[in-house]
Amino acid sequence: MFSNIGVPGLILILVVALVIFGPNKLPEIGRAFGKSIREFKRATEGIADDIKEEIKEDIKEAKQEKIDLKK
């Protein structure tokens, strides 16, 4: 989505944001956006870790069942 935005487009977006929000609010908005991105990244990493752990447990159980069937 953002890969098609070039440097001129980015500059235009920043100028519009500066006009709308003003120079005092822009750093606050940037900080809030950064915090939101970090929190989202932490949440998705936690979910990915949970899924990986479940898959490992399922593989371990499947291997154990395979060993039991050979006996």
Q: How high is the mean pLDDT of the chain?
A: 86
What pLDDT does residue 64 have?
85
pTM of this prediction exceeds 0.75: no
Residue 52 has pLDDT above 80, yes or no: yes
> Once rounded to an integer, what is the mean pLDDT over residues 25-30?
87
DSSP assignment of the chain:
-GGG--HHHHHHHHHHHHHHHHHHHHHHHHHHHHHHHHHHHHHHHHHHHHHHHHHHHHHHHHHHHHHHHH-
